[in-house]
Amino acid sequence: MNVKSSEVTPKEVYLSRRRFVLQAGLLFGSLAVTGTAYRWFFEPESKPAPRGTPLNFIRTKPQLMADEHLTSYEKVTGYNNFYEFSTYKQAVAKRARQMKVRPWTVVVGGLVARPKIFDIDEIIRLAPLEERIYRMRCVEGWSMVIPWIGFPLKALLDKVEPLSTARYVEFESLYDPEVMPNQRQGLWGSLLNWPYREGLRLDEAMHPLTILAVGLYGEMLLPQNGAPLRVVVPWKYGFKSAKSIVKITLRSDRPQTTWNLAQPREYGFYANVNPAVSHPRWSQQTERRIGEFWRRPTLLFNGYAEQVAHLYSGMDLKTNF
């Protein structure tokens, strides 16, 4: 795979792009009949940290095709799946704004020699932060290219020393019905089984492509993207990448996962991106890359086959979907 140097967006460039958008917004605000649009535009900027909190990180070579580009900051932070807040992607960012991401602890335990409750700021300093530009494919058929900031999940797992009996890793997202409207019981019960839970096989979790993300576009994660900590598994459908994690548990048995519990025929445990395995209600052969006009073909393991295919050798990917 071949990378153009132009694919690596220097911070100055996207900052100046954002400055341009801000200036355009200012002009618009001064022309607007009411100040509503103006206030809408500036409100997020006047919020306290973590919005805009810059991170120090190492820039590494992105593994993208020559014709792939970063999805805009506005789309990455404005078009989100985070069902705890809303099923309407454009509404998530605003609704998630009240979520408090400090103080925040992550309980890491289960089949480990050294279980530990980590403070989020300790996790951020656990390993050098790297930029990882990954293509992300949602099971619904859209995709993005996101410059995550994070470090391999392996670095955290090594700290707690998994026992030889540990075969799976379970992730649990925040449960807080006070701030997450969809966790409250509605007339028809609850939308999903909360808290949101996901899981990986231990070898998948230890793979160098699997990261814990704490930021994107050079800044700390915003709530809508899963602040303050989420897992990112780029060769699997987006739902495996659990947001706002509070608990990581090593287990001998395969964990129950939210989407698999909801619709086992539609959402398998593996959820590897695979154009040859259709979702029961739609094909997975192509995808709409957000910001592009033509659909792109979906690639086996989301384009990361070279690095991850060996994890599944001898497995039937049609039955283990």
Residues that bind Mo ion (CB under 5 A): 81, 138, 238-239
Question: Is residue 200 part of the contact set for ligand MTE (CB under 6 A)?
Answer: no
CB of 259 to Mo ion, least distance (A): 9
Q: 133 near 145, Cβ under 8 Å?
A: yes
Name the helix (H) or strand (E) containing 11: helix 11-31
Write the CB contacts of 68 (distance below 8 Å, at least 6 apart in sequence): 7, 135, 145, 289
CA atoms within 13 A of residue 103's CA, in its CB half-sphere: 5
Question: Is residue 243 part of the contact set for ligand MTE (CB under 6 A)?
Answer: yes
Q: At which residue do the structure tokens 């089984």 appear?
A: 193
Write the CB contacts of 318 (distance below 8 Å, at least 6 apart in sequence): 276, 277
Q: Residue from 72, 225, 257, 260 that binds ligand MTE (CB under 6 A)?
A: 225
Binding part of the chain for ligand MTE, among 30-38, 58-66, 75-83, 116-124 by CB under 6 A, reads 75-83
Specify the residue, 50 or 268, whose C-beta has the smaller distance to Mo ion. 268
Specify the residue, 176 or 266, whose C-beta has the smaller distance to Mo ion. 266
Collapsed DSSP state (helix, strand, coil) of residue 48: coil
Q: Residue from 63, 64, 70, 83 that binds ligand MTE (CB under 6 A)?
A: 83
Binding part of the chain for ligand MTE, among 119-127, 235-243, 270-278, 286-294 by CB under 6 A, reads 235-243
Question: Is residue 242 part of the contact set for ligand MTE (CB under 6 A)?
Answer: yes
CB of 142 to ligand MTE, least distance (A): 8
Q: 50 near 101, Cβ under 8 Å?
A: yes
Q: Residue from 80, 86, 249, 274 that binds ligand MTE (CB under 6 A)?
A: 80
Specify the residue, 99 or 138, whose C-beta has the smaller distance to Mo ion. 138
Nearest to 97 by CA among 86, 105, 106: 86
How far apart (Å, rounded) are the C-alpha atoms in residues 320 and 305?
16
Instruction: Give the single-character DSSP code of 253.
Output: S
Question: Is residue 151 part of the contact set for ligand MTE (CB under 6 A)?
Answer: no
Contact set with ligand MTE (CB under 6 A): 80-84, 138, 173, 196, 225-226, 238-239, 241-244
